[in-house]
Amino acid sequence: MNFFKKIFGSGSEEVPAYTNFEEGDIFYTNENGKYHFFKVLKIEVENNVLHVLMYEEMNELPSINQVGLFKVRVYHAPIDKNGFANPQLFLKTQVQDSDLLGYHEYLKQTQNINEIVSNAKKYYKEAHELTSQGNHFEAINKYSIAINLLPNFFEAIDNNGS
């Protein structure tokens, strides 16, 4: 920052960059009048990496009500947390199972077995709980995700067929 800008400011009100990323956050950057939206899927704190879902760029800043209409451009991209130009928080949401399809494929392609097993067990436990609550449709969905992640997960296969 140059000396005069530091003392007198830039003449326009600059919004500070958003840096407190959490899973589920939808944020955007603005480059050359185009808005680029991202959703945080997972955070690798040790590597300073955000695993994000990327939406198609937009010419105008949409309303929050339009989030469900965003079109996905890339289902998964690992990007350095500091690799975004002046990110701005748009909305705090939850990560949905359907958001993670690209991330799960990334895990399988990189053969990160510890993360694969951990995720498969998480879905298995969620499915088991849903079964005990009588929510069989959602349970089958969670068992299917666990099996997709770990095809030899015999307990999930047995319970999915029950």
**For residue 162, pLDDT beyond 70:** no
**2-13 average pLDDT score:** 44
| Model pTM score | 0.73
**For residue 12, pLDDT beyond 90:** no
**What CA–CA distance (Å, rounded) separates 99 from 41?**
7
**What CA–CA distance (Å, rounded) separates 19 from 128?**
36
Q: Rounded mean pLDDT of the chain?
A: 84
Q: What six digits make up the tokens of 91? A: 């909305």
Which amino acid is present at 162? S
- Residue 113's pLDDT band (cuts 50, 70, 90): confident
What is the three-class DSSP state of 109?
helix
Model confidence pLDDT, tens digit, residues 35-70: 999 999 999 888 899 999 999 999 999 999 999 999
End-to-end CA distance of the chain: 64
CB 123 within 8 A of CB 142: yes
Model confidence pLDDT, tens digit, residues 127-156: 888 888 988 888 888 788 787 777 787 776
Confidence at residue 161, expressed as pLDDT on a 0 to 100 scale: 67
CB 80 within 8 A of CB 63: no
CB 52 within 8 A of CB 77: yes
Model confidence pLDDT, tens digit, residues 97-112: 889 889 888 888 887 7
